[in-house]
Chain A
Amino acid sequence: MRTLKFLLQKEFKQIFRNKALLPLLFVVPIMQLLILPLAADYEIKNINITIVDHDHSPYSHKLISKITASGYFKLANYVIGFNEAFDDIEKDRADLILEIPQGFERNLIREDGAAGQTDGEQLYVAVNAINGVKANLGSAYLNRIIADYNADVRMEWAQMPRFNLFPTIEITSSNWFNPTMNYRFYMVPGILALLVTMIGAYMCALNIVKEKEVGTIEQINVTPIKKYQFILGKLLPFWFIGIVVFTMGLFGVGWLVYGIIPLGNLFLLYAYLGVYLIAVLGLGLLISTYTETQQQAMSIAFFFMMVFILMSGLFTPIDGMPKWAYVITQFSPVTYFIEVMRMIVLKGSEFANIKTHFLIMVVFAVVLNGWAIYNYKKTS
């Protein structure tokens, strides 16, 4: 115990003396948490639209103003011919073209007035699909606006309070756990989970490898320090720092800046964080036992982080991934932590709901650390 105390003392002294590392540990994650959720927003605004209006009627103008007033679209150009509009797409000035045919107003009024046998008026939408997400969402928004517009027109012309001849199903949805569909509510816990992972895995791996690289481990190895003491001396400081950073992120940024108040039991959340950090630090430790220099450790840790970032359901839902990718996500501890974060913080889940997650994380912690300890040698 006494030895461990001195090891920890030494470790903290070194960490707090490292002027380059300190801001990296405490300031950068907070900055990232402030900036990233704003950038990682799935709502797409400012879609550039070019409108080809062959009609020039009050109705077409009304449609156009409805589109631009929605806030999603920016009128990039208003042209007479389709070829000019296509030029806009080619030069990347527009993402969408809406073509309003000649006689739009006339046909609309007449056919709607003839109450019934309408095959509708045709509008043509062309999408620049290079950015798939933008194209998809853009055309979906546009369809929605046009459908709305259509309903308005019908209302206007169906003057009499009479029965609607066509029974329609109208869908209303309510968003549970995130009623305003605020994207940040979803992203902040996920990004926070990722940041804590980076601190744990990177710092722990680099710290141990540094002792190898500088040669200090040579001196340590000829002392009576036991393997478990040395490893605990390395894990505990970063476990502690991980919890501090998480707390800063959850309350300092999540609560104060984004107004995310954890619904679930905080004790449960921290208990899970504790186990999770042990697992992640175990990964760092494992990397350090297989590498000799900080450069090697950094490269390997970076590789894992890339997989974790892209394949733990932070940005893309796991359920939508192909089977093989799904299997990979199940081997990433980050997947479970992001899920648990969202469950406890947004949904207020209780222990019974995350029992399996807990069990899996304990297995991760035991396997990763066991493997690392087995592989860590004082003698070569």
Chain B
Amino acid sequence: MKDVILNNISKTYNKGIVQAVNAVSFHVDKGELFGLIGPDGAGKTSIFRILTTLLLPNGGTASVNGFDVVKDYKTIRKNVGYMPGRFSLYQDLSVQENLNFFASIFNTSVKENYDLIKDIYIQLEPFKDRRAGKLSGGMKQKLALCCALIHRPTILFLDEPTTGVDVVSRKEFWEMLKRLKQQGITILVSTPYMDEATLCERIALIQDGRIMSIDTPENIIGKFSESLFAVKSDNMGSLLQDLKNTGIIKSCNAFGAYHHVTFKDNNQNMNEKLIRVLEEKQHTNIELRPITPTIEDCFIKLMED
């Protein structure tokens, strides 16, 4: 059973000059936690807005819960929960008032669906009389999630829910998503953070409005065919340039404390050769070790290909 289906969805802005979404097709199974991973401007929000019936696609078809996003938008709006990337609750209403308001416009009450939001709401409870605008970033996200859940949606659309939230809150947030998934809610989430990709069941890597790859995070990493190495020395700045100039390196990218490299020729003695070359260039404390690729490595590789 597929809860969300996209078929060659396209969206252009400025009368066709900007191609935001380019023939995107993917589907999300019932009860799945699906991640849309890509940098800013990749077209994630446009896809979310099309699926939540806020934006009309220029081409292609899409359905949510089996309903067409253009024709049956009314039914879709009753059954999905949407949490936009920007905090979109009433800042001048209190936590409780926001929650009650969104419950009542969906013809339900907080009491009726309390079990669904209980885990999250408990953390908000001490601030229930505080205006939503005065909450911290993490609390705002939790409140927005509660409001998106209050009518017990079958599908939850979360557009960059963890952007601008601290590391601890982000981690908590993903824990919450896992618990919601256990309740049988299908979740489609987008994020620009590659490290969050592994927390999803399946992911789609998106760049410039095109899907580059769709699979489970493990399979995407598994498809990374070359051996990947992490290199470090005392002078990281010149190291990057020197690596590129050796002639034996295929790709080389800065990754925090290390540079990730792949060789043109995957064979053991290349390691020693590289260290020798770098030593000639006066690099000290050279460290070279094989590593397993991350989603980010895969993403960069897909982009370069």
Enumerate B84-106 residues with CB–CB distance to A below 8 Å: 84, 86-93, 97, 101-102, 104-106
Q: Which of B53, B91, B101 contacts A10 (CB 8 A)?
A: B101
Query: Across the interface, do B54 and A225 meet the contact criterion of CB distance under 8 Å?
Result: no
User: Least Cβ distance of A150 to chain B in Å?
Assistant: 71
Q: A219 near B53 (CB under 8 angstroms)? A: no
The answer to whether B97 touches A215 (Cβ under 8 A) is: no
Quick one: which of B78, B88, B107 contacts A2, CB cutoff 8 A?
B107
In the complex, what distance in Å separates the CA atom of A222 from the CA atom of B55? 11
User: Which residues from 18 to 65 on chain B have a C-beta closer than 8 Å to any C-beta of chain A?
Assistant: 52-56
B121 in the interface, Cβ–Cβ < 8 Å? Answer: no
A7 part of interface (Cβ distance < 8 Å): yes
Chain A residues in contact with chain B, CB under 8 A? 2-3, 6-7, 10, 13-14, 17-18, 214-216, 218-225, 378-380
The reply to whether B104 and A379 contact each other, CB–CB distance below 8 Å, is no
B84 near A218 with CB under 8 A, answer yes
Residues of B within 8 A of A (CB): 52-56, 73-74, 77-78, 80, 82, 84, 86-93, 97, 101-102, 104-107, 147
Q: Do B104 and A2 have beta carbons less than 8 Å apart?
A: yes
Given A3-B105, A3-B107, A223-B106; A13-B88 close (CB under 8 Å): no
Which residue of chain B is the closest to A378 with respect to CB atoms? B54
15 other contacts beyond A13-B97, A224-B107, A378-B54, with CB at 8 A cut-off?
A: A3-B107, A6-B105, A17-B92, A214-B91, A215-B87, A216-B88, A216-B89, A216-B90, A218-B86, A218-B88, A220-B105, A222-B77, A223-B105, A224-B105, A380-B54
Docked-complex contact B104 and A222, CB < 8 angstroms: no
Question: Contact: B92 with A14, CB < 8 Å?
Answer: yes
Q: 8 interchain pairs (CB within 8 A)? A: A219-B84, A222-B52, A222-B54, A222-B77, A223-B105, A224-B77, A380-B54, A380-B56
B104 touches A380 (CB 8 A): no
Closest to B53 in A: A379
Known contacts A219-B84, A223-B105, A224-B74; is A13 also within 8 Å of B93 by CB?
yes
CB of B147 within 8 A of CB of A219, answer: yes
Q: Contacts A219-B88, A224-B77, A379-B53 known; A7 to B93 CB distance under 8 Å?
A: no
A14 — which chain B residues lie within 8 A by C-beta? 90, 92-93
B104 surroundings in chain A (CB, below 8 A): 2-3, 6
Q: How far, in angstroms, from A224 to B84 measured CA to CA in the complex?
A: 17
A216 CA to B89 CA in the complex, in Å? 6
Task: Name which residue of chain B comes closest to A3, CB basis.
Answer: B105
Contact A215 B86 (CB under 8 A): yes
- Write out the residue numbers on chain B whose beta carbons fall within 8 Å of the beta carbon of A7: 105
CB contacts (< 8 Å) of B56 on chain A: these are 379-380
Take A10-B90, A379-B56 as given contacts and tell me if A215 and B105 are in contact as well, using a CB distance cutoff of 8 Å.
Answer: no
Closest chain B residue, CB of each to CB of A233: B105
A210 to chain B, nearest CB (A): 10
- Complex CA gap A380/B101 in Å reads 25
- Whole-angstrom distance between the Cβ of B266 and the nearest chain A Cβ: 49
A224 with B78, Cβ < 8 A, contacts A14-B93, A219-B84 known: yes
Query: Are A221 and B54 within 8 A (Cβ)?
Result: yes
Contact (Cβ within 8 A) A379 B54: yes
Considering the complex, give the chain A residue whose CB is closest to the CB of B147. Answer: A219
Nearest-neighbour CB distance to chain A for B10, whole angstroms, equals 16
**B91 neighbours in A (Cβ, 8 Å):** 214
Contacts of B102 in A (CB 8 A): 219, 223
Closest to B104 in A: A6
Which A residues are in CB contact (< 8 Å) with B86?
215, 218
Q: Is the CB of B53 within 8 A of A223?
A: no
Bound form: Cα–Cα A25–B80 in Å: 38
Closest A residue to B76 using CB positions: A222
A219 and B54: CB pair below 8 A? no
